[in-house]
Structure 1
Amino acid sequence: MNLIITTKRTSLGWTVDAALTALGWMAFFYLFTRGVVSIVHAGGIQPMPSLLDPAVTPLVPTLQTLALYLLVACFNALVVVAWGRYHKRLFRRLKLIRSADAVDEEELASHFHLSCNQLHEIQGSRVTVIYHSNDGAIAQLETDQLRMQPAGNSPVFHTVKVA
Protein backbone atom coordinates (compact mmCIF):
# COMPACT_ATOMS: atom_id res chain seq x y z
CA MET A 1 0.00 0.00 0.00
CA ASN A 2 1.39 3.38 -0.97
CA LEU A 3 0.98 6.25 1.41
CA ILE A 4 -0.53 9.46 0.11
CA ILE A 5 1.36 11.68 2.54
CA THR A 6 4.94 11.04 3.56
CA THR A 7 7.15 13.40 5.52
CA LYS A 8 10.90 13.37 5.73
CA ARG A 9 12.79 14.42 8.80
CA THR A 10 14.69 17.63 8.23
CA SER A 11 18.40 17.84 8.85
CA LEU A 12 17.77 20.68 11.32
CA GLY A 13 15.43 18.48 13.37
CA TRP A 14 17.92 15.65 13.35
CA THR A 15 20.72 18.01 14.41
CA VAL A 16 18.70 19.46 17.30
CA ASP A 17 17.74 15.97 18.46
CA ALA A 18 21.33 14.74 18.32
CA ALA A 19 22.65 17.84 20.11
CA LEU A 20 20.13 17.57 22.95
CA THR A 21 20.84 13.86 23.34
CA ALA A 22 24.59 14.47 23.46
CA LEU A 23 24.11 17.29 25.96
CA GLY A 24 22.01 15.05 28.20
CA TRP A 25 24.61 12.27 28.15
CA MET A 26 27.44 14.72 28.87
CA ALA A 27 25.50 16.13 31.84
CA PHE A 28 24.84 12.64 33.16
CA PHE A 29 28.50 11.60 32.91
CA TYR A 30 29.64 14.89 34.46
CA LEU A 31 27.35 14.47 37.46
CA PHE A 32 28.18 10.79 37.81
CA THR A 33 31.95 11.26 37.66
CA ARG A 34 31.78 14.26 39.97
CA GLY A 35 30.03 12.11 42.56
CA VAL A 36 32.56 9.31 42.19
CA VAL A 37 35.50 11.74 42.42
CA SER A 38 34.06 13.30 45.58
CA ILE A 39 33.80 9.87 47.19
CA VAL A 40 37.37 8.98 46.24
CA HIS A 41 38.79 12.28 47.51
CA ALA A 42 36.78 12.25 50.71
CA GLY A 43 37.60 8.66 51.62
CA GLY A 44 41.07 8.36 50.14
CA ILE A 45 42.43 4.95 49.20
CA GLN A 46 42.08 3.57 52.70
CA PRO A 47 39.86 0.59 53.44
CA MET A 48 36.22 1.54 53.84
CA PRO A 49 35.31 1.97 57.49
CA SER A 50 31.94 1.04 58.90
CA LEU A 51 28.98 3.08 57.66
CA LEU A 52 28.10 3.84 61.29
CA ASP A 53 31.43 5.61 61.79
CA PRO A 54 30.86 9.41 62.16
CA ALA A 55 33.70 10.15 59.71
CA VAL A 56 31.85 8.27 56.92
CA THR A 57 28.39 9.70 57.62
CA PRO A 58 28.80 12.65 55.16
CA LEU A 59 29.49 10.16 52.34
CA VAL A 60 26.23 8.26 52.78
CA PRO A 61 24.05 10.78 50.87
CA THR A 62 26.52 10.78 47.97
CA LEU A 63 26.54 6.98 47.85
CA GLN A 64 22.75 6.96 47.96
CA THR A 65 22.61 9.46 45.08
CA LEU A 66 25.00 7.39 42.97
CA ALA A 67 23.01 4.25 43.72
CA LEU A 68 19.84 6.05 42.66
CA TYR A 69 21.52 7.20 39.40
CA LEU A 70 22.53 3.61 38.69
CA LEU A 71 19.05 2.33 39.48
CA VAL A 72 17.40 4.90 37.17
CA ALA A 73 19.86 4.10 34.37
CA CYS A 74 19.15 0.36 34.67
CA PHE A 75 15.39 0.99 34.70
CA ASN A 76 15.62 3.22 31.61
CA ALA A 77 17.68 0.60 29.78
CA LEU A 78 15.13 -2.08 30.70
CA VAL A 79 12.22 0.07 29.47
CA VAL A 80 13.95 0.87 26.17
CA VAL A 81 14.78 -2.80 25.50
CA ALA A 82 11.25 -3.93 26.40
CA TRP A 83 9.71 -1.19 24.25
CA GLY A 84 11.90 -2.13 21.29
CA ARG A 85 11.07 -5.82 21.51
CA TYR A 86 7.35 -5.10 21.94
CA HIS A 87 7.24 -2.84 18.88
CA LYS A 88 9.27 -5.29 16.83
CA ARG A 89 6.72 -8.02 17.52
CA LEU A 90 3.73 -5.68 17.20
CA PHE A 91 4.77 -4.27 13.84
CA ARG A 92 5.68 -7.71 12.52
CA ARG A 93 2.11 -8.82 13.29
CA LEU A 94 0.61 -5.63 11.87
CA LYS A 95 2.67 -5.99 8.71
CA LEU A 96 1.36 -9.53 8.23
CA ILE A 97 -2.22 -8.36 8.85
CA ARG A 98 -1.88 -5.40 6.48
CA SER A 99 -0.29 -7.44 3.72
CA ALA A 100 -3.25 -9.83 3.77
CA ASP A 101 -5.76 -6.95 3.59
CA ALA A 102 -3.78 -4.75 1.23
CA VAL A 103 -5.89 -2.20 -0.62
CA ASP A 104 -5.19 -1.89 -4.31
CA GLU A 105 -4.81 1.49 -5.97
CA GLU A 106 -8.18 1.35 -7.75
CA GLU A 107 -10.01 0.81 -4.47
CA LEU A 108 -8.04 3.60 -2.79
CA ALA A 109 -8.76 6.00 -5.66
CA SER A 110 -12.47 5.16 -5.66
CA HIS A 111 -12.65 5.68 -1.89
CA PHE A 112 -11.54 9.30 -2.33
CA HIS A 113 -13.51 9.70 -5.61
CA LEU A 114 -10.33 10.15 -7.63
CA SER A 115 -9.10 8.66 -10.87
CA CYS A 116 -6.02 6.43 -10.81
CA ASN A 117 -4.10 9.14 -12.68
CA GLN A 118 -4.98 11.69 -9.99
CA LEU A 119 -3.90 9.30 -7.25
CA HIS A 120 -0.55 8.75 -8.97
CA GLU A 121 -0.20 12.52 -9.40
CA ILE A 122 -0.77 13.07 -5.67
CA GLN A 123 1.63 10.29 -4.71
CA GLY A 124 4.32 11.61 -7.03
CA SER A 125 4.06 15.29 -6.13
CA ARG A 126 6.08 17.05 -3.48
CA VAL A 127 3.30 19.50 -2.56
CA THR A 128 -0.43 18.82 -2.68
CA VAL A 129 -3.20 21.18 -1.60
CA ILE A 130 -6.61 19.58 -1.20
CA TYR A 131 -9.76 21.71 -1.10
CA HIS A 132 -12.89 20.17 0.41
CA SER A 133 -16.54 21.02 -0.19
CA ASN A 134 -19.03 21.57 2.63
CA ASP A 135 -20.02 17.90 2.66
CA GLY A 136 -16.37 16.82 3.08
CA ALA A 137 -15.78 15.57 -0.46
CA ILE A 138 -12.67 16.62 -2.34
CA ALA A 139 -13.57 19.68 -4.41
CA GLN A 140 -10.19 20.49 -5.99
CA LEU A 141 -6.59 19.30 -5.97
CA GLU A 142 -3.51 21.41 -6.53
CA THR A 143 -0.19 19.67 -6.88
CA ASP A 144 3.17 21.04 -7.89
CA GLN A 145 2.43 19.85 -11.45
CA LEU A 146 -1.31 19.95 -12.12
CA ARG A 147 -4.51 21.59 -10.89
CA MET A 148 -7.54 19.33 -11.39
CA GLN A 149 -11.07 18.53 -10.26
CA PRO A 150 -11.67 15.07 -8.80
CA ALA A 151 -13.40 12.57 -11.06
CA GLY A 152 -16.28 11.96 -8.62
CA ASN A 153 -17.41 15.59 -8.45
CA SER A 154 -17.43 16.43 -12.13
CA PRO A 155 -17.86 14.38 -15.30
CA VAL A 156 -15.16 16.48 -16.97
CA PHE A 157 -12.13 17.65 -15.06
CA HIS A 158 -9.81 20.39 -16.19
CA THR A 159 -6.07 20.28 -15.98
CA VAL A 160 -4.08 23.46 -15.67
CA LYS A 161 -0.32 23.71 -15.29
CA VAL A 162 0.81 25.51 -12.17
CA ALA A 163 3.95 27.60 -12.50
Structure 2
Amino acid sequence: MIITTARSRAGLLLDAVLTIIGWIGFVYLFGTGILAIIYGAAQGPRAPLLPLFSPTLGTLSSYAVIAAANAAILIAWALYNHWRFKDQDRRKPLKAVGAGHLARSFALTLDQVDGLAVTKIATIHHDAQGYIVEISQINSESMLL
Protein backbone atom coordinates (compact mmCIF):
# COMPACT_ATOMS: atom_id res chain seq x y z
CA MET A 1 0.00 0.00 0.00
CA ILE A 2 1.39 3.37 -0.98
CA ILE A 3 0.47 6.25 1.29
CA THR A 4 0.21 9.55 -0.53
CA THR A 5 -0.29 13.01 0.87
CA ALA A 6 -1.69 16.12 -0.75
CA ARG A 7 1.09 18.18 -2.31
CA SER A 8 1.19 21.57 -3.97
CA ARG A 9 1.62 22.01 -7.69
CA ALA A 10 4.95 23.75 -7.11
CA GLY A 11 6.27 20.72 -5.19
CA LEU A 12 5.10 18.34 -7.90
CA LEU A 13 6.65 20.52 -10.61
CA LEU A 14 9.96 20.71 -8.73
CA ASP A 15 10.01 16.92 -8.30
CA ALA A 16 9.25 16.40 -11.99
CA VAL A 17 11.95 18.85 -13.14
CA LEU A 18 14.59 17.33 -10.85
CA THR A 19 13.64 13.82 -11.97
CA ILE A 20 13.92 14.77 -15.64
CA ILE A 21 17.30 16.46 -15.06
CA GLY A 22 18.51 13.37 -13.20
CA TRP A 23 17.46 11.01 -16.00
CA ILE A 24 19.00 13.21 -18.68
CA GLY A 25 22.27 13.30 -16.71
CA PHE A 26 22.22 9.54 -16.23
CA VAL A 27 21.57 8.80 -19.92
CA TYR A 28 24.28 11.28 -20.98
CA LEU A 29 26.93 9.88 -18.61
CA PHE A 30 26.02 6.27 -19.34
CA GLY A 31 26.01 6.84 -23.10
CA THR A 32 29.29 8.72 -23.17
CA GLY A 33 30.91 6.07 -21.00
CA ILE A 34 29.81 3.22 -23.26
CA LEU A 35 30.83 5.16 -26.38
CA ALA A 36 34.24 5.92 -24.86
CA ILE A 37 34.79 2.24 -24.16
CA ILE A 38 33.75 1.22 -27.67
CA TYR A 39 35.74 3.95 -29.46
CA GLY A 40 38.74 3.45 -27.22
CA ALA A 41 38.75 -0.26 -28.00
CA ALA A 42 38.31 0.36 -31.71
CA GLN A 43 41.12 2.92 -31.88
CA GLY A 44 43.42 1.16 -29.45
CA PRO A 45 46.35 -1.11 -30.27
CA ARG A 46 44.16 -3.89 -31.63
CA ALA A 47 43.18 -5.00 -28.17
CA PRO A 48 40.21 -7.33 -28.02
CA LEU A 49 37.05 -5.98 -26.37
CA LEU A 50 36.73 -8.75 -23.76
CA PRO A 51 39.72 -7.69 -21.58
CA LEU A 52 38.12 -4.25 -21.21
CA PHE A 53 34.99 -5.81 -19.74
CA SER A 54 36.62 -8.65 -17.79
CA PRO A 55 36.83 -6.79 -14.43
CA THR A 56 33.17 -5.87 -14.79
CA LEU A 57 32.25 -9.40 -15.79
CA GLY A 58 34.07 -10.75 -12.74
CA THR A 59 32.15 -8.40 -10.46
CA LEU A 60 28.84 -9.20 -12.15
CA SER A 61 29.49 -12.93 -11.93
CA SER A 62 30.23 -12.66 -8.22
CA TYR A 63 26.94 -10.74 -7.80
CA ALA A 64 25.14 -13.49 -9.73
CA VAL A 65 26.67 -16.19 -7.50
CA ILE A 66 25.62 -14.30 -4.35
CA ALA A 67 22.11 -13.77 -5.74
CA ALA A 68 21.82 -17.47 -6.60
CA ALA A 69 23.01 -18.44 -3.10
CA ASN A 70 20.43 -16.09 -1.54
CA ALA A 71 17.71 -17.55 -3.76
CA ALA A 72 18.73 -21.09 -2.82
CA ILE A 73 18.65 -20.23 0.89
CA LEU A 74 15.20 -18.62 0.61
CA ILE A 75 13.78 -21.50 -1.42
CA ALA A 76 15.22 -24.05 1.04
CA TRP A 77 13.70 -22.11 3.95
CA ALA A 78 10.31 -21.95 2.21
CA LEU A 79 10.39 -25.68 1.46
CA TYR A 80 11.37 -26.46 5.06
CA ASN A 81 8.50 -24.34 6.41
CA HIS A 82 6.11 -25.99 3.95
CA TRP A 83 7.24 -29.43 5.07
CA ARG A 84 7.18 -28.53 8.78
CA PHE A 85 3.81 -26.74 8.86
CA LYS A 86 1.97 -28.48 6.01
CA ASP A 87 -0.79 -29.89 8.23
CA GLN A 88 -1.25 -26.77 10.36
CA ASP A 89 -3.45 -23.88 9.33
CA ARG A 90 -2.08 -20.89 11.19
CA ARG A 91 -4.50 -18.48 9.56
CA LYS A 92 -7.57 -19.58 11.48
CA PRO A 93 -9.41 -16.72 13.15
CA LEU A 94 -9.43 -16.65 16.93
CA LYS A 95 -12.57 -17.76 18.71
CA ALA A 96 -14.85 -14.98 19.88
CA VAL A 97 -14.53 -14.01 23.51
CA GLY A 98 -17.79 -14.50 25.35
CA ALA A 99 -19.45 -12.11 27.77
CA GLY A 100 -18.82 -14.48 30.67
CA HIS A 101 -15.09 -14.58 29.99
CA LEU A 102 -14.95 -10.78 29.74
CA ALA A 103 -16.88 -10.43 32.99
CA ARG A 104 -14.48 -12.75 34.83
CA SER A 105 -11.38 -11.09 33.31
CA PHE A 106 -12.37 -7.57 34.34
CA ALA A 107 -14.28 -8.44 37.52
CA LEU A 108 -17.58 -7.14 36.16
CA THR A 109 -21.12 -8.43 36.24
CA LEU A 110 -22.79 -9.76 33.11
CA ASP A 111 -25.18 -6.80 33.18
CA GLN A 112 -22.24 -4.37 33.09
CA VAL A 113 -20.64 -6.21 30.17
CA ASP A 114 -23.95 -6.24 28.30
CA GLY A 115 -24.36 -2.51 29.03
CA LEU A 116 -20.91 -1.80 27.60
CA ALA A 117 -21.72 -3.87 24.51
CA VAL A 118 -24.74 -1.75 23.60
CA THR A 119 -23.45 1.70 24.53
CA LYS A 120 -21.65 3.84 21.97
CA ILE A 121 -19.56 5.92 24.38
CA ALA A 122 -18.40 4.86 27.82
CA THR A 123 -15.78 6.09 30.27
CA ILE A 124 -14.18 3.48 32.49
CA HIS A 125 -12.54 4.71 35.72
CA HIS A 126 -9.81 2.67 37.44
CA ASP A 127 -8.33 2.81 40.91
CA ALA A 128 -4.60 2.94 41.71
CA GLN A 129 -4.28 -0.84 41.34
CA GLY A 130 -5.96 -0.86 37.92
CA TYR A 131 -9.31 -2.29 38.98
CA ILE A 132 -12.48 -0.89 37.45
CA VAL A 133 -14.33 1.27 39.99
CA GLU A 134 -16.88 3.08 37.82
CA ILE A 135 -18.33 2.92 34.32
CA SER A 136 -19.95 6.11 33.02
CA GLN A 137 -22.08 5.81 29.91
CA ILE A 138 -23.52 8.57 27.77
CA ASN A 139 -27.34 8.70 27.85
CA SER A 140 -27.52 6.42 30.84
CA GLU A 141 -26.82 6.57 34.50
CA SER A 142 -23.39 5.80 35.97
CA MET A 143 -22.89 2.26 37.13
CA LEU A 144 -21.01 2.18 40.43
CA LEU A 145 -19.26 -0.99 41.53
Decide: shared fold, TM above 0.5.
Answer: no
Instruction: Name the structure with the higher helix share.
Output: 2
User: Which of 1 and 2 has higher RCO (CA within 8 Å, sep 6+)?
Assistant: 1
Task: State the TM bucket, normalised to the shorter chain.
Answer: 0.3 to 0.5
